[in-house]
Amino acid sequence: MTDYRTEHDSMGEVRVPADRYWGAQTERSRQNFQIGVGLETMPTEIIEAFGILKKAAALANFALRPDKMTEEKCKAICAACDEVAEGSLSDHFPLVVWQTGSGTQSNMNANEVIANRGNELAGKSLLHPNDDVNMSQSSNDTFPTAMHISAVKSIRERLLPALTGLIETMKRLERENEGVIKSGRTHLQDATPITFSQEISGWRSSLEKDRKMILQSLEGLSELALGGTAVGTGLNAPKGFDTEVAAQISALTGMEFCTAENKFHALTSRDEMVAAHGALKALAADLWKIANDVRWLASGPRLGLGEIRIPENEPGSSIMPGKVNPTQCEAVTMVAAQVMGNDVTVGIAASQGNFQLNVFMPVCAYNFLQSVRLLADAMDSFDRNCVSGIVADRAKMRENLERSLMLVTCLNPYIGYENAAKTAKLAYTEGITLKDACVRLGFLTPERFDEVFCPEEMV
């Protein structure tokens, strides 16, 4: 049987589970928004970001108004915030994404948990969630700040390492397959030759450009709304609080943050999230393309292209014995589809605000952070369980190359485009080689054909 204690807020008393640090406002939200419970709670990245920003705010307040934020209060807040930031109090953050669009209840959840845990650590009633933990702040500037901190941290700590690892694997595959000539393909049809290393370099370069765009997007995400308080004017925050708290957040995270130049923009616009997620969508698009290429090239094993072999990780069919499927590629493409859907949500959410506040922030943060998490995990898995084990079937590549009618392109300078087309069509309809077709049509002698027909020089 659950024990309860009584908490109160401006609306009256509320019964709260006795073993939880949250207070009245959190409990009201928990009861009023039972939407997606257990499945769609506020992302842990947001909660941990609240731990960071609340500690930074306490330190900034202590530096600027020690008469209000005493050393004792600051110490208790910082100790509780450290536990929030490291995730040890995650069970005390029960609220779902589907709440007020400003994230007010999640801000109060953080205030209440930090105050109650801080009081427990202090051994007395020292902290008030609004007066002390939320000092110089508003939900309207803390939640967008938590969004930016969590976005930057998750990109730097999870996404970029996974992306860089995949790029390094591509570089190794390029070196291992230097000079291996194969048929190119456009429109899913045979095209002129390339080397396998050139094909891989296209994948690698796409990922490198995605990484560059993502890094560029971090500049906007590094700007913080904290200090704007309710509507951007900075009401109830001491002079210099915005720059001081940004400096404290930078010190706590080891990452560069700064105060937003215009707080009215910082509270009401989510354009930086839209731009950054656009870079994530570009990465998703490239990963989808690469995964498709890999599974096409590995198709078979006898009736497909069969030009590469990929790791066989698990049986592929419950009815067809011995079947093995490109499951990692399929997982990557499903992740990419989810990210593209998330991009629509992030864009719509960013457009939905009135006057001085955007009111779709929780769903914007939820989708953004899910995209980062999924892309990072998918790239790690794709790299470890598929790409790192790609092996070129050089004999099959050579066989396909020699059968390609598009090698006729190298004859254009000698017999002209139209005669080359006639050669290819005759070779195809008669099932003969390009050489036999060209000689039969009288365009070149056998000796001259051998002199000018050099697929190796076409790459």
Catalytic residue chosen out of the listed positions 187, 197, 277, 404: 187
Tell me the sheet residues that pair with 195.
181
* Dihedrals phi, psi of 373, to nearest 5 degrees: -65, -45
> Is 317 part of the annotated catalytic residue set?
yes
The whole-angstrom separation of Cα 113 and Cα 131 is 14
d(CA 166, CA 317): 28
In which residue are the tokens 């939407």 written? 35
Residues 6+ apart with CB under 8 A from 22: 16, 30, 92, 93, 94, 109, 112, 113, 116
Rounded CA separation 339/362 (Å): 17
Pick the closest to residue 291 from 374, 211, 386 (CA basis).
Answer: 386
- The answer to whether 91 and 58 have CB atoms below 8 angstroms apart is no
Q: What six digits make up the tokens of 11?
A: 């609306």
**Pairing mode, strands 391-392 and 308-309:** antiparallel
Considering only CA atoms, which of 196, 381, 391, 380 is closest in space to residue 310? 391
Give the per-residue pLDDT at 353: 86
Please report the pLDDT score of residue 334 as a whole number: 98
**Domains along the chain with CATH numbers:** 4-135 (1.10.275.10), 144-223+265-395 (1.20.200.10), 404-458 (1.10.40.30)
Contact 181, 193 (CB under 8 A): yes
pTM: 0.95
Catalytic, out of 8, 88, 205, 317? 317
Q: Helices (H) and strands (E) in the chain — how many of each?
A: 17, 10
pLDDT for residue 272: 98
Low-confidence ranges of the chain (pLDDT < 50): none
Q: Is residue 148 a contact partner of residue 226, using CB atoms and an 8 Å limit?
A: no
Q: How many CB atoms lie within 10 A of CB 418?
A: 9
- Structure-token pair, residue 294: 């890999």
* 92 labelled catalytic: no
